[in-house]
Amino acid sequence: MKALMLAAMQSGSGKTAVTCALLAAARRRGLEVHPFKTGPDYIDPMFHTKAAGRPSRNLDLFLQGEAGVRRTLATAGATAGEGLALIEGAMGYYDGMAGGTDAGAWAVADALGIPAVLVLRPEGQGVTLAAQLYGMLHFRSPSHIAGVLFSGCKASLADYLAPIVTRETSLPVLGTLPPCDAAKFDSRHLGLQTPGEIADLDARFAALAELFEQNSDLDKLLALAADLPAEHPAQTRTDSPACRIAVARDEAFCFTYADNLDALQEAGAELCFFSPLHDEALPKDCGALYLCGGYPELHAEALARNAPMRQAVRQAVTSGMPTVAECGGFLYLGQALEDTGGKSFAMAGALPGEGYRTDRLRRFGYLKLTADTDSLLLRKGETLPAHEFHYWEARQPGGDLTAHKPGRDKSWQCCFAGPTLYAGFPHLHFGGSLPLAERFVAAAATYRQRKAE
């Protein structure tokens, strides 16, 4: 398997559109493509998944560690056989945590030895663009930068800029994705709209692939990809599941790492997907509940109307069913939630407090959670890397865990964490060093056995 990264100098350069165009174009050629995204992003991988026809996974050095990142590549099948592992870098290429490069796109490329192609959106620049690229090339050694692609750039301008860039930097310019309606995706407060909200997405990907192939040298681009060392993926369990876990999945709850679901299955769980929006009851015979993040604030009224589901979830949580609820899932467990217009609607009522909108991004970025006592996922004294990204707040955010911001002298109490519960704003990745999935599944199996007795 070969691997290549698409990165940029900053967000908003068109990386996701170019990544999806390349995934769709390579797939049309019959190439097996495995998409990835550096960092803790949820929405861009949804687009990758649609374009590639298989789940996109995150490669996050902070949440997973290098061993976890390598394990994700192996588990996804990206280090065996023919095909391409295509990785979209988050933010700017060198932008990492705490004002450094750690856990950023370059750090992933460096740890794995993967070449990177920079996606640039030139605006009012000529040789100055080459000067910026020269700086990118020499900021870290090795830079792993192997080429350039233009985005939102007409073919005529690309033809003018290409020889300048190559003359001044020796980097090959591999083409452009010209301006087109298919590459325009609307945004909201947490990023792009989700793919499920775009009716003509498959047709748009086909148009992107066609336009990209017409204006780029796909063969030279693919030739830049480097071989990944073969590793053995984790073995999939074939015995009977130890438990069934109800997993929320619909328009309101859609922020889930593919690795988290894989980890739960590998730990012995059967996943039973349900919709808090559209279903009236939880899946039968489940021993645990997983409420991931998403956009409950956009669907607050519809969630409130589904009183049978709210009652079922409240009963499950208060009766001791092991529950993990992250960010949006945590807000759903509260007493009420404001929608985008500021109107409050009743939620599940399993936890105290209400969720309310704010006018800015609240806690944002990486953090570490430390457990003061034993709980469902953590043992006393353990520290767990996590991530937050939300505009909504909770009047009672919990106080059972201590959060600390890496690189800053800042800490606070957060989350509800008990013997059968993890609920809070921080998102968790089950592919790190702590056995979170195994603990969750073990608790679910115990609950199921107790209910059967």
**Which residue reads 């999806």 in tokens?**
20
Q: What pLDDT sits at residue 190?
A: 53
Structure-block tokens of residue 433: 């060093």
**Which residue reads 């570490």 in tokens?**
368
| Angle (CA) 292 297 300, round 5° | 100
Q: Predicted confidence band at 452 (pLDDT cuts at 50, 70, 90)?
A: confident
pLDDT at residue 289 is higher than 60: yes
For position 284, which CATH number holds? 3.40.50.880
Structure-block tokens of residue 127: 């040789």
Question: Which residues belong to the active site?
Answer: 327
Whether 148 and 173 have beta carbons less than 8 Å apart is answered as yes
Helix (H) or strand (E) holding 392: none
- Single out the residue in 177, 195, 227 at which a domain terminates: 227
Distance of alpha carbon 355 from alpha carbon 117, whole angstroms: 42
Q: What pLDDT sits at residue 182?
A: 65
Distance of alpha carbon 126 from alpha carbon 106, whole angstroms: 25
What residues contact residue 238 under an 8 Å CB cut-off, 6+ apart?
Answer: none
What residues contact residue 83 under an 8 Å CB cut-off, 6+ apart?
Answer: 1, 2, 31, 32, 33, 34
Whether residue 233 lies inside any domain: the answer is no
Whether residues 152 and 301 fall in one domain = no
Distances 55 to 36, 108, 341 between C-alpha atoms, Å? 9, 19, 34
For position 190, which CATH number holds? 3.40.50.300
Distance of alpha carbon 116 from alpha carbon 289, whole angstroms: 39
> What integer is the mean pLDDT of 103-113?
97
Whether residues 312 and 407 fall in one domain = yes
Domain that holds residue 121: 2-227
Whether residue 330 lies inside any domain: the answer is yes
Residue 394's CB is within 10 A of a number of other CB atoms, namely 25
Whether residues 164 and 262 fall in one domain = no
Whether residues 179 and 312 fall in one domain = no
Whether 142 and 109 have beta carbons less than 8 Å apart is answered as no
Give the residues across from 149 on adjacent strands.
119
Q: What pLDDT sits at residue 361?
A: 74
**What percent of the chain has a predicted confidence (pLDDT) above 90?**
82
Distance of alpha carbon 39 from alpha carbon 433, whole angstroms: 17
Whether residues 7 and 43 fall in one domain = yes
Distance of alpha carbon 23 from alpha carbon 314, whole angstroms: 42
DSSP letters of 64-113? HHHHHHHHHHHHTTTTSSSSEEEEEPPSSTT--GGGSSTTSHHHHHHHHT
Query: What is the layout of strands, in order, in the sheet containing 354-356?
Result: 344-346, 336-338, 354-356, 393-394
**Residue 452 vs residue 303, higher pLDDT:** 303
219-259 tens-digit pLDDT: 999 999 998 876 665 566 667 788 999 999 999 999 999 99
pLDDT at residue 80 is higher than 60: no
**Which residue reads 């690309």 in tokens?**
158
> What integer is the mean pLDDT of 109-130?
95
Whether 292 and 248 have beta carbons less than 8 Å apart is answered as yes
Whether residue 333 lies inside any domain: the answer is yes
List the end-to-end C-alpha distance of the chain, in Å, as a whole number. 49
Q: What pLDDT sits at residue 215?
A: 97
Q: Predicted confidence band at 408 (pLDDT cuts at 50, 70, 90)?
A: confident
175-221 tens-digit pLDDT: 999 998 766 676 655 556 787 777 788 899 999 999 999 999 999 99
User: Are β-strands 33-38 and 84-88 bridged in parallel, bridged antiparallel, or unpaired?
Assistant: parallel
Whether residues 166 and 313 fall in one domain = no
Q: What pLDDT sits at residue 239?
A: 76
Q: What pLDDT sits at residue 75?
A: 73
Number of domain units in the chain:
2
Helix axes 43-52, 201-215, angle to 10 degrees: 80
Helix (H) or strand (E) holding 402: strand 401-404
Whether 159 and 129 have beta carbons less than 8 Å apart is answered as no
Q: Report the Cα 447 to chain-centroid distance in Å.
A: 30
- Single out the residue in 197, 227, 257 at which a domain terminates: 227
Whether residue 234 lies inside any domain: the answer is no
What residues contact residue 207 under an 8 Å CB cut-off, 6+ apart?
Answer: 180, 182
Whether residues 293 and 190 fall in one domain = no
4-48 tens-digit pLDDT: 999 999 998 999 999 999 999 999 999 999 999 999 999 999 999
Whether residues 253 and 343 fall in one domain = yes
Whether residues 216 and 265 fall in one domain = no
- Single out the residue in 227, 257, 290 at which a domain terminates: 227
Whether residues 103 and 208 fall in one domain = yes
Whether residue 232 lies inside any domain: the answer is no
Whether residue 373 lies inside any domain: the answer is yes
334-375 tens-digit pLDDT: 999 999 999 999 999 999 999 999 987 777 799 999 999 999
Whether residues 146 and 249 fall in one domain = no
Whether residue 235 lies inside any domain: the answer is no
Whether residues 333 and 257 fall in one domain = yes
Whether residue 376 lies inside any domain: the answer is yes
For residue 319, count CB atoms less than 10 angstroms from its CB and return exposed for 0-12, middle for 13-18, buried for 19 or more: exposed
Whether 355 and 337 have beta carbons less than 8 Å apart is answered as yes
